[in-house]
Structure formats: structure tokens, C-alpha cells
């Protein structure tokens, strides 16, 4: 019998599959699902094949079980052969085998928790509106984080900054599918596992390199690797002084274009040559400032502020540096220091950056700034515009989730973050913010499930960035949510022992202690957090984890102390 939908799933996910079937049928759709199992090959060929032939769409429920199911693979292959529209619905994110990657290349992923999006997609998949799946024919490239081979191993900021700038330059080429910076940085130190990474990200080409810096002398070695053939398309080395950095970056970008045999428009060619600044000293300071900003401590934000002040003296038209300074000012105000002058200057800097470079991306920082100023309607408009203009950009969905989270709309924040995660399952902050939203909603099972998915990304990052205090606190929290209490407590020990622990990290530790039913330890951590400069009073007052102690004299006194500090 013909049906609207065929469900392809692993029997181990039967509970979720049947729940979805009930909801779809309640909405008037006809659904075919194998409830009893197909015994032999002959039965599979007749029953399953007939159901796939007669359906309009195939919903593929992706999980760690489904990707290893031989029947699921056969169903997807047959559906693809029959020209059926395949809609992947993520139950739990799992690395796809090559066979499934082929059939799902270029297909938009949906999420099990976002039922409305599933229905919307299905309603657009009637036979009359059915169109062949459009596959992404762009060449795929990952820029692996460059290694620091300097004598003192103290120039990671330069290696990371060079990686980021190359990604920014190459991202403007439309015929190239470039893995974003946040995902790229997760693979720092992973050069020996390129085939695994290629399979995980569905990427064929790798740009990898190393830097040496001693004083003003620099050496940059770069190579372009084709994972499919195992051959190096080219490799090169550049020597010089830091003042040559612009020419070196431009040469590397052009060689990538030549090696991949890409044809650039005049506008794309111009974008590769665009340097943002001609001042090498300002550029070096920018790379240092960006590295400090990403540490997410009060001290590092103040250092980034100091550095960007020096940059503005060297080149007041360096738009990216203005944006970086505005970001540091906004975050200082939100988390550590309620100085109203910070917001005034940040808003002025965003306006100037957009004037200097109309295409510069300031959507996320503007959303944050408008939220801090209480202009929620304007912030929501900007967030929704981003999703409408480019729904395939994960960061637009992340920004929308950020708006909903920080305006207290957790039920809306969750699907926005899940959509961002579907588009980019490697970005650690999406996991973290999603898990925090689920925690606020009391959805412990979902919180644990996403924590288990997030842990491998934090476990890869954390050993490479041992001084990242916030990452340490996040890692400890995720371990706790994943029922690894002993590891969680051991992870945060250095924070508690440090006299220079940051307020944001200590606040995160306080939440951990509330989950451990230790309000006394939580209050001590909060007290230290505020002494270290934590000032996000809205976050503290709205956090349901502190509800059990919210009426205690100690907690009220702490809130009053924060108010006095903001006066």
C-alpha cells in the first residue's frame, strides 16, 4: 500500500521511531514502518522494497546503532536508486560510514527534537514538488592547525592566528567547501590521523603546515595533501621576517587555488589579496590579541583590550581589530565588569567597523550588545534575519540560540542549538550552550546524552590547551553530567587550588557543586567567583540550580554584594 513516509531505523531505536510514527499519523500522514523484522533476503526484497517503491519520502533515523545496520544501509541505497527523497533525522550524532555519506552528500539534516521542522520538510516532499537531491560538487578542504616548531615552543598564538587568517581568506571562494575555523581548531595536533578526520568530515584535501619564529625571523612550511590519492599536490617553505607575512599568506592562498585547480572570479581574487591592514606590527598584535580573547578569562579580556588599544594607534582603520576590541568590551561588561562605558564604546566600534568593511560579520556581537542594553526586539530581529538569509550557516542558528538562551527562552534555545549542531557537530560551544539550556529545563536524560557526545571534542581540546580555565570547568561539568563524578572532581582540582582562578570558571564549578548536593561548597565557589570579578548577575539570579539556596541569608548577601559592585 502506498504511504507518505517510509521509516528507516535500527531496532535498538524502536522507542523513538514508534513515538515519531504516532505523531506523524496523528497529523494525518501515512507511515510505513517495519514492526516485526524481516527474516530472510526474499522477504526483505518483497516487503521492504515494495514499501520504499511506493512511498513519497524516506525518513532515516540516524544514531550510533543505525549507521552499523546492514538493513538501514540497504534501505538507503535502494531509496537513492529509486530517486526517493531521503530526509536524515538525527537521534544521536554519529560519524557516517562512507556508503551512507555518498547517499546523503549535500542533504540538509533534521533533528528528532525539532518535530515542526520534520513536518515542514515532509510537506515539501510530495510527488509534485519532488526534486532530485542536489549534491555539493565543491572541492572540500580542511586547514589543519599549523604546528609551532619555534625553539621555545612559545608561538602557538602565531601558528593559530595564521591558520585562522588562511581560513578567512579561503572561505570567500565559492567553489570551495572549507571547514570552518572552530572545527579546524578542534584537530590541533591531529596530523597523523588525516584519514579518520577526512572520513568524519567528508573532506578530501588537507592544508597543513608548521611555523618557526625567532624574534622577527620566521619560517613557514606548508603542504597540500589529497587524502583520496595519498599524494601531496605541492609543498613549499617560506623564509623571511614578520613584515613579509602578508606576501607569504597571499602566496599560500594562491597556491591552494592552483593546486585544487579552482577558477576564481575577479572579486574572489581581490578578496585573497585583501589584507585588512598594511601594518605588520598591527597585524602581529591582532594575532596575539585574538589568542588572548579566546581564553575567556577577565585577565585575558583586559589584555586583549590593551593590545587592541595599541593596534588602533598603529592603524585606526583596521576593522577586524575594532571588532575584536568591541567583542572584548561586550564580554567584559557581561561577565566581569559592569562599566557602562564598555557598551558605549563597543557600539561605536561596531558601527565604525561596518563603515570601514561593510561585509564584516558583526551579527553575533550585535545580538549580545543589544541584549545587554535591554533591546530584545532588535536583537531577535537580527538573529532571525541571519537564519532566513543563510539557513545553512551553523553560526546563524547558534546566534539565534544565544538570543533565546540569554532572553530566558530555553524551549526555543534548544532546537536552535540542535540545528546548529546538525550543521556543524564539531563546535564545542554549541554543545555547551545546548547542554546548559537542557540543564535549565531539567531535561536530565537529554543533558546526559549530549554530554556524552560532547566529551570527545573537549577531551581532544583540553590537553592541548591546559591553561584554558573555562574549558577545564566545562570539561569537569560534562564529566559530571556523564556520571563520571570522580574524574569530574579531579579535573577541577587545579582551579580550586589556584589563587588566580577566573570568576567564570569558578561560577561553573559552583553549578557543579549544586548538582553534587553540596551547597556549602557551591557558596564558597560563588564567593570566590565574585571576588575574581564575575558580575553576570542576571545569569546567577535566573539559574534554577541555585533555587534551593536562593532564599538563604548567605545567597541574598552575595547578590547584594554584586549589586554594590555594579553601582
CATH of the domain at 83: 3.40.50.10140
Range with top average pLDDT, 138-142, 249-253, 510-514: 510-514
Do 153 and 103 share a structural domain?
no
Assess if residue 114 is contained within a domain: yes
How far apart, in whole angstroms, are the C-alpha atoms of residue 559 and residue 549?
12
Bridge partners of 3, per DSSP, are 55
Do 190 and 85 share a structural domain?
no
Assess if residue 503 is contained within a domain: yes
Do 184 and 103 share a structural domain?
no
Range with top average pLDDT, 110-124, 135-149, 232-246, 310-324: 310-324
Burial 273-310 (b: 16+ CB within 10 A, else e): eebbbebbebbbbbbbbbbbbbbbbbebbbbbbebbee
How far apart, in whole angstroms, are the C-alpha atoms of residue 526 and residue 90?
37
Domain holding 110, by residue range, is 3-123
Instruction: Answer whether 332's CB lies under 8 Å from 342's CB.
Output: yes
Write the CA distances from 106 to 2, 82, 133, 377, integer angstroms: 27, 18, 8, 34
Position 504 confidence tier, pLDDT thresholds 50, 70, 90:
very high
DSSP letters spanning 256-270: HHHHTT----HHHHH
Q: What is the pLDDT of residue 567?
A: 58
Helix (H, G, I), strand (E, B) or coil at 544: helix
DSSP 135: P
- Find the angle CA(152)-CA(157)-CA(161) to the nearest 5 degrees: 140
Closest CA to 107 of 75, 68, 80: 80
- Residues 303-322 have pLDDT tens digits of 999 999 999 999 999 999 99
Give the N- to C-terminal CA distance of the chain in Å, as an integer. 71
Burial 383-401 (b: 16+ CB within 10 A, else e): beebbeeeeebbbbbbbbb
The DSSP bridge pattern shows strands 139-143 and 110-111 to be unpaired
Position 43 confidence tier, pLDDT thresholds 50, 70, 90:
low
Instruction: Answer whether 118's CB lies under 8 Å from 134's CB.
Output: no
CA dihedral (404, 406, 407, 409) positive or negative: positive
- Residues 388-408 have pLDDT tens digits of 988 888 889 999 999 999 999
Position 130 confidence tier, pLDDT thresholds 50, 70, 90:
very low
Specify the CATH number for the domain of residue 146: 3.40.50.10610
How far apart, in whole angstroms, are the C-alpha atoms of residue 362 and residue 343?
15
Do 547 and 518 share a structural domain?
yes
Do 246 and 174 share a structural domain?
yes
CA dihedral (425, 142, 218, 290) positive or negative: negative
Domain boundary among 230, 249, 275: 275
**For residue 37, pLDDT beyond 50:** no
DSSP 95: P
Weakest mean pLDDT among 124-138, 224-238, 455-469, 544-558:
124-138
CA dihedral (191, 194, 197, 198) positive or negative: positive
Closest CA to 431 of 454, 405, 399: 454
Assess if residue 161 is contained within a domain: yes
Mean pLDDT of 111-138: 63
| H-type alpha helices, 294-393 | 298-314, 319-331, 340-356, 363-372, 376-389
State the cell numbers at 312: 588602533
Assess if residue 231 is contained within a domain: yes
Assess if residue 145 is contained within a domain: yes
Pairs from 63-68 (Cβ < 8 Å, separation ≥ 24): 63/10, 63/12, 63/13, 63/91, 63/92, 63/94, 64/92, 64/94, 65/10, 65/12, 65/13, 66/8, 66/9, 66/10, 66/13, 66/91, 66/94, 67/94, 67/95, 67/96, 67/97, 67/100, 68/10, 68/97
Do 244 and 152 share a structural domain?
yes
Do 144 and 114 share a structural domain?
no
Assess if residue 31 is contained within a domain: yes
Do 199 and 114 share a structural domain?
no
Closest CA to 392 of 189, 157, 111, 106: 106
- H or E element in which residue 31 lies: strand 31-32
Mean pLDDT of the chain: 86
Structural domain count of the chain: 3
Domain boundary among 233, 254, 275: 275
Do 204 and 158 share a structural domain?
yes
Instruction: Answer whether 60's CB lies under 8 Å from 74's CB.
Output: no
* Residues, the chain: 567
Do 145 and 117 share a structural domain?
no
CA quadruple 77, 78, 81, 86: dihedral, nearest 10: -70
Assess if residue 155 is contained within a domain: yes
- Residues 440-489 have pLDDT tens digits of 999 999 999 999 988 888 887 777 777 889 999 999 999 999 999 999 99
Domain boundary among 71, 92, 123: 123
Do 118 and 167 share a structural domain?
no
Mean pLDDT of 132-160: 78
Q: What is the pLDDT of residue 193?
A: 62
Q: What are phi and psi of 195, to 5 degrees?
A: -65, -40
Instruction: Answer whether 29's CB lies under 8 Å from 120's CB.
Output: no
Residue with more model confidence, 361 or 502: 502
Instruction: Answer whether 207's CB lies under 8 Å from 165's CB.
Output: no
How far apart, in whole angstroms, are the C-alpha atoms of residue 426 and residue 27?
34
Instruction: Answer whether 185's CB lies under 8 Å from 160's CB.
Output: yes
Residue with more model confidence, 356 or 195: 356
CA dihedral (481, 482, 486, 490) positive or negative: negative
- Write down the pTM of the prediction: 0.67
Q: Which residues contact 22 (CB under 8 A, 6 or more apart)?
A: none
CB atoms within 10 A of CB 54: 13
Do 271 and 188 share a structural domain?
yes
Assess if residue 347 is contained within a domain: no
Amino acid at each position: 500500500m502506498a504511504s507518505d513516509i517510509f521509516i528507516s531505523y535500527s531496532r535498538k531505536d524502536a522507542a523513538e521511531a514508534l513515538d515519531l510514527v504516532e505523531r506523524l499519523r496523528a497529523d494525518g500522514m501515512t507511515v510505513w514502518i517495519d514492526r516485526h523484522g524481516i527474516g530472510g533476503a526474499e522477504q526483505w526484497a518483497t516487503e521492504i522494497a515494495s514499501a520504499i517503491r511506493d512511498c513519497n519520502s524516506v525518513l532515516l533515523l540516524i544514531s550510533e546503532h543505525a549507521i552499523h545496520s546492514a538493513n538501514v544501509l540497504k534501505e538507503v541505497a535502494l531509496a537513492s536508486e529509486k530517486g526517493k527523497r531521503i530526509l536524515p533525522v538525527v537521534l544521536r550524532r554519529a560519524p557516517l560510514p562512507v556508503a551512507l555519506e555518498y547517499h546523503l552528500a549535500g542533504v540538509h539534516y533534521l533533528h528528532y527534537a525539532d518535530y515542526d521542522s520534520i513536518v515542514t520538510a515532509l510537506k515539501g516532499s510530495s510527488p509534485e514538488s519532488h526534486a532530485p537531491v542536489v549534491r555539493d560538487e565543491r572541492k572540500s578542504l580542511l586547514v589543519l592547525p599549523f604546528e609551532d616548531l619555534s625553539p621555545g615552543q612559545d608561538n602557538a598564538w602565531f601558528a593559530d592566528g595564521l591558520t585562522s587568517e588562511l581560513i578567512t581568506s579561503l572561505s570567500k571562494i565559492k567553489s570551495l567547501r572549507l571547514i570552518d575555523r572552530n572545527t579546524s581548531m578542534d584537530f590541533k595536533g591531529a596530523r597523523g590521523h588525516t584519514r579518520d578526520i577526512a572520513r568524519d568530515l567528508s573532506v578530501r584535501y588537507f592544508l597543513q603546515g608548521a611555523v618557526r619564529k625567532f624574534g622577527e625571523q620566521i619560517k613557514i612550511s606548508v603542504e597540500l595533501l589529497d587524502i583520496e590519492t595519498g599524494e601531496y599536490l605541492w609543498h613549499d617553505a617560506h623564509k623571511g621576517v614578520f613584515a613579509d607575512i602578508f606576501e607569504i599568506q597571499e602566496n599560500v592562498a594562491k597556491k591552494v587555488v592552483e593546486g585544487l585547480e579552482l577558477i576564481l572570479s575577479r572579486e574572489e581574487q581581490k578578496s585573497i589579496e585583501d589584507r585588512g591592514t598594511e601594518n605588520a606590527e598591527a597585524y602581529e598584535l591582532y594575532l596575539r590579541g585574538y589568542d588572548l580573547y579566546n581564553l575567556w578569562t577577565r585577565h585575558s579580556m583586559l589584555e586583549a583590550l590593551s593590545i587592541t588599544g595599541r593596534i588602533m594607534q598603529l592603524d585606526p582603520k583596521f576593522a577586524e581589530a575594532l571588532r575584536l576590541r568591541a567583542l572584548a568590551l561586550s564580554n567584559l561588561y557581561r561577565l566581569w565588569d559592569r562599566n557602562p562605558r564598555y557598551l558605549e564604546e563597543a557600539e561605536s566600534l561596531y558601527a565604525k567597523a561596518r563603515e570601514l568593511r561593510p561585509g564584516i560579520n558583526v551579527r553575533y556581537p550585535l545580538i549580545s550588545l543589544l541584549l545587554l542594553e535591554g533591546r530584545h526586539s532588535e536583537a531577535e530581529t537580527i538573529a532571525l534575519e541571519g537564519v532566513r538569509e543563510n539557513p545553512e550557516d551553523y553560526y546563524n542558528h547558534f546566534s539565534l540560540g544565544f538570543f533565546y538562551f540569554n532572553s530566558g527562552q530555553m524551549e526555543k534555545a534548544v532546537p536552535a542549538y540542535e540545528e546548529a549542531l546538525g550543521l556543524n557537530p564539531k563546535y564545542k560551544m554549541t554543545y555547551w550552550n545546548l547542554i546548559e539550556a537542557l540543564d535549565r529545563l531539567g531535561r536530565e536524560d537529554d543533558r546526559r546524552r549530549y554530554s556524552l557526545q560532547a566529551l570527545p571534542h573537549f577531551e581532544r581540546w583540553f590537553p592541548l590547551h591546559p591553561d584554558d580555565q573555562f574549558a577545564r570547568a566545562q570539561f569537569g561539568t560534562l564529566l559530571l553530567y556523564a556520571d563520571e563524578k570522580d574524574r569530574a572532581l579531579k579535573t577541577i582540582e587545579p582551579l580550586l587550588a589556584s589563587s588566580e582562578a577566573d570568576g567564570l570558571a569558578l561560577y561553573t564549578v559552583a553549578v557543579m557543586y549544586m548538582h553534587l548536593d553540596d551547597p556549602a561548597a557551591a557558596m564558597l565557589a560563588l564567593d570566590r567567583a565574585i571576588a575574581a570579578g564575575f558580575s553576570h548577575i542576571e545569569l546567577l539570579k535566573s539559574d534554577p540550580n541555585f533555587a534551593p539556596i536562593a532564599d538563604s541569608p548567605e545567597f541574598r548577601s552575595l547578590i547584594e554584594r554584586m549589586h554594590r559592585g555594579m553601582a
